[in-house]
Structure 1
Amino acid sequence: MKNVDYIIVGDGYAGLFFAHQLIRNNRSFVMFSERQKSASQVSAGIINPVVLKKFTTFWKAQEQIDFLKNTLKEIENYTGQNYLIDAPIHRIFHDENEQVLWLKKSDNDDLSQFLDKNFDRLKVVKNDFLSGKVNQSARLNVNGFFTGLFDFLEKNENLIAEKFIYSDLDAERSTYKNFTFKNILFCEGMGVKHNPFFSDIPVNPNKGHHIKVELSEKIPENITIKKKHFLFPVNDQLYFYGGTYDREQLHQEIDESAVEQLKKGLMEFYPHPFEIKDINFGFRPTVKDRRPIIGRHSDHHNFYVFNGLGARGILNGCYFSKSLYDFIEEGIPLHEEISLERFKNKN
C-alpha cells in the first residue's frame, strides 16, 4: 500500500488549485483524472472583477484578483510557464445610458479601481457608443495551464489517469485500491451527482456553449472584447466567442439555438464575414447563492468537497483552495458564506 496525505478526485480548477496548495506545503497526494475535457478545460479563462451586465463587483473581488496573480507566479516557479495573459476586457456600450451608468459606478469605492473612466473607440468592430476598459482584468491561458500542470503532475507521479471507482473506496479504513490516505477531496463539478458521499449538495448544471471562429478582419490581440459574450484570439487563425448560459437544455449534445445565439451576438458588433470552425460546451456547477460549496462530510471526517465554482471558476478555485487547505490543516473555520454547513442550518 502507498500512503499519501491526500487523494484528489477531479481535475478542474478546484482540483488543480488545491493541488498547488499541497505542492507549496510539501504534502503528498495523487489526483485521479479521467483526462476528459471538463467545463474548466473548455472555459474562456476570463479573469474579471466586474459583473458586466450591471457594472457591479462581487464578494472579495480585489482579494481574489491579487491572490490569483500571486498564485500564478508560484505555479510559474515549478512549471516554468506564465499562464496570465494581459489582455484587459473592453466592454462595448449598447447606448449612452450605459456610458452614464459606468461613469457613475466608477465613483463607487468598490469599483473605482476597476472601471476606467477613459472610454475607447475600438478598431474593426462596431462600437458607436465606445467601450469601457476593465482595469485588472485579464485572461488565463487555459490550454497552457492544464497542459503544463498535468505534465508537471505526471512527471512527479501525482497524476493517475483513470476513473475513480467509489465502490473501491473503504471509508472506514481510509483506503482506495492500493492507497491509504489521510484526507480525500472530491472536486468533480457536476460529476458530484454520482458521488455517494456528496450527491445531495445543491449544485445545478448551467450549460455553456462557445464557438471558435475564423475572422476575415482580425481584432487587436492585446484585448478581450465583450458585448453579449467574450471575443478574443486563441491563436493566429482562431478566435474564441462565448459563452452562453442555459439551465434548461441539459442534454449531452450541441444545442443549435445556443449556436444561433452566438452567431447573432457576434454579428451585432463584428460587421465582417466569419466562419465557425469549432463548437464546444460544458456544464458549470452553479449554486443558487453564487457561492462555492466547501466542507467536510458529517460522518466521514476526512472526506471533503470543493464544488460550485460557477462561472468564476478561476478566481473561486484559486482563492478558496487556500481557505479549504487552512480549514483541513490548521482548523481555521470556513467562512459561513462558502461553508457546506450553510445548507444544513436551513433545514
Structure 2
Amino acid sequence: MKNVDYIIVGDGYAGLFFAHQLIKNNKSFVIFSEGRKSASQVSAGIINPVVLKKFTTFWKAQEQIDFLKNSLEEIKSYTGENYLINACIHRIFHDENEQKLWLKKSANEELVNFLSEQFESLNVVKNDFLTGKVNQSARLNVNGFFTGLFSYLEKNDFLIKEKFEYSKLNPSESVYKDLKFKNIIFCEGMGVKENPYFSEITVNPNKGHHIKVKLSHPIPKNITIKKKHFLFPTGTGLYFYGGTYDREQLHHHIDESAVKQLVNGLSEFYPYDFEVEEVNFGFRPTVKDRRPIIGRHETYNNLYVFNGLGARGILNGCYFSRDLFRFIEDGVPLHEEVSLNRFK
C-alpha cells in the first residue's frame, strides 16, 4: 500500500493550484484526472480585478492579483515557463455616460490602481466612444498552464488518469483502493453533485459558450478587447470570443442561441468578415454570494471540499488554495466569507 499526505480529486484550477501548494511545501500527493476537459480548461483565462459591467472591484482583488503573479513565478521554477500573458483589457465604451462613470470610479480609492484615466482609441474595431484600459489585468495561457502542469505531474508520478470511485473510499480507515492518505481534497466543480460526501453544497451550474474565429483583419496584438464579451488572439491564428452566461439551458451540447449571441456580439464592434471555426462550452460552478466554498466534512475530518470558484476561477483557485492548505496544516481558520459552514 502506498502512503500519501494528500489525494486531490479534480484537475481544474482548484485542483492544480492546490497541488502547487503541496509541491511548494514538499507534501506527497496524487491527483485524479478523468482526462475530460474541465470548465477550467476551456475558460478564457482572463485575470481581471474589475467587474466590467458596473466598473466596481471585488473582495481582496489586489491581494489576489499579487498572489497569482507570485504563484506563477513559483510554478515557473519547476515547469520552466511563466504562463502569464501581459495583455491588458480594453473595455469599449457604449456611450458617453459610460465614459463619465469610468472617470468618476477611477478616482475611487478601491479602483484608482485598476482604472486608467486615459482613454484610448483602437484600430480595426469600432470604438466611437474610445476604450478604458484596466491596469493590472492580464490573461493566463490556459493551454500552456494545463499542458505544462500535467506534464510535470505525470513525470513525477503525481497524476492518476482515472475516474475516482467513491465506493472504493473508506474515510474511517483513510484508505482508497491501495492508497493510504492523510487528507482528500475534492475539487470537482459541478462533478461534486455526484459526490456522496459533499453533494448537498450549494453550487449551481452556469453554462458558458465561446467561439474561436478566423478574422479577416487582425486586431491589435497584446491586448484583450471587451465589449459584451472578450476577444483576443489564441496564438494559433484564431481568436477567442466569449463567454456567455446561462443558468437555464443546461443540456450537454452546443446551444445555437448562445452561438448566435456571440456572433452578433462580435459583429457589433468588428466590422469585417469572420468565420466561426470552433465552439466550446463548459459549466462553471457558481455560488449565490459569488465566493468559493471551502471546508471540512462534518463527520470525516480527513475529507475537504474546494469548489464554487465561478467565473474568477484563476484568482479564486490560486488565492484560496493557500487558505485551505493553512487551514488543514496549521489550523488557521478559514474566512467566514468562503467557509463551507456559512450556509448552515
Whether the aligned pair in 1 keeps the contact of 2:105 and 2:111 (CA below 8 Å) is yes
| Structure 1 residue aligned with 2:201 | 201
Q: What is the one-letter code of the residue matched to 1:275?
A: E
Q: Summarize deviations over 1:196-228 as a string: whole Å, max 9, x none.
A: 000000000000000000000000120000000
Report the alpha carbon displacement of residue 45 of structure 1 after superposing the two structures with TM.
Answer: 0.1
Q: Which residue of 2 aligns with 1:12?
A: 12
- Matched to 2:56, the amino acid is T
1:262 and 1:98 mapped to 2: Cα distance?
22
Q: What is the aligned-residue identity percentage?
A: 77
Deviation at 1:146, TM superposition (A): 0.2
Query: Is 1:272 matched up with 2:272?
Result: yes
**Who is 1:313 aligned against?**
313
Distance 1:181 1:52, change over 3 A: same
In 2, distance between residues paired with 1:171 and 1:139? 39
Aligned to 2:255: 255
Contact 2:169/2:176, CA 8 A, preserved across alignment = yes
The yes-or-no answer on 1:28 pairing with 2:34 is no
AA at the equivalent of 2:267: M
Q: Distance in 1 between matches of 2:117 and 2:152?
A: 42
Distance in 2 (CA, whole Å) between partners of 1:169 and 1:43 is 31
**Unaligned stretches of 5+ residues in structure 2:** none
Q: Deviations over 1:218-263 (max 9, x none)?
A: 0012000000000000024100000000000000000000000000
Q: Which residue of 2 is the match for residue 39 of structure 1?
A: 39
State the AA in 1 paired with 2:287: V
On the 8 A contact 2:171/2:302 being kept in 1, the answer is no
Q: Deviations over 1:50-86 (max 9, x none)?
A: 0000000000000000000000000000000110001
Distance 1:123 1:37 in 2: 35
Please give the alpha-carbon distance, in whole angstroms, between the structure 2 residues aligned to 1:133 and 1:237. Answer: 24
Distance, in Å, in 1 between the alignment partners of 2:210 and 2:247 is: 15
Partner-residue secondary structure (3-state), 2:55: coil
Map Cα deviations across residues 149-173 of structure 1 (whole Å, 9 max, x no partner): 0000000000000000000001111
Is 2:178 aligned against 1:178? yes
What is the rounded CA distance, in whole Å, between the counterparts of 2:255 and 2:172 in structure 1? 44
**Cα RMSD for the two superposed structures:** 0.4
Matching of residue 148 in structure 1 with residue 148 in structure 2: yes
Counterpart residue type for residue 22 of structure 1: L
- What's the counterpart of residue 243 of structure 1? 243
For 2:256 and 2:11, locate their aligned partners in 1 and report how far apart those are by CA, in whole Å.
29
2:212/2:277 contact within 8 Å kept = yes
Looking at structure 1, the residues matched to 53 and 324 of structure 2 have their Cα atoms a distance apart, in angstroms, of 31
Shift of 1:35: 1.3
The code of the aligned residue for 1:306 comes to: F
Question: Whole-Å Cα distance in 2 between the matches of residues 124 and 245 of structure 1?
Answer: 27
Within 5 Å, give how 1:104-253 maps onto structure 2. Answer: 104-253=104-253
Post-superposition, which runs of at least 4 consecutive aligned residues in structure 1 deviate over 3 A? none
Whole-Å Cα distance in 2 between the matches of residues 56 and 273 of structure 1?
34
User: What amino acid does structure 2 have at the position aligned with 1:56?
Assistant: T
Distance 2:294 2:196 in 1: 17
d(CA) in 1 for partners of 2:37, 2:221: 26
Q: TM-score, normalised by structure 1?
A: 0.99
Alignment: residue pair count: 344
- Partners of 1:64 and 1:253 in 2: CA distance: 33
- State the distance in 1 between where 2:177 and 2:124 align: 57
Q: Using structure 2 for the length normalisation, give the TM-score.
A: 1.00
Tell me by how many angstroms 1:195 deviates: 0.1
Equivalent position SS for 2:119: coil
Which structure 2 residues correspond to residues 73-84 of structure 1 after superposition, within 5 A?
A: 73-84=73-84
- What are the residue-to-residue correspondences of 1:284-295 with 2, within 5 Å? 284-295=284-295
Q: Aligned partners of 2:169 and 2:236: how far apart in 1?
A: 46
Q: Deviations over 1:16-51 (max 9, x none)?
A: 000000000000000000111000000000000000
Q: Separation in 2 of the partners of 1:237 and 1:24? A: 36
CA distance in 1, matches of 2:259, 2:130: 27
User: Which consecutive residues of structure 1, in runs of 5 or more, have no partner in the other structure?
Assistant: none
C-alpha separation in 2, matches of 1:299 and 1:40: 30
- Whole-Å separation in 2 of the counterparts to 1:128 and 1:121: 8
Equivalent residue, structure 1, for 2:87: 87
Using the alignment, how far apart are the partners of 1:286 and 1:25 within structure 2? 29
In structure 2, what is the equivalent of residue 304 of structure 1? 304
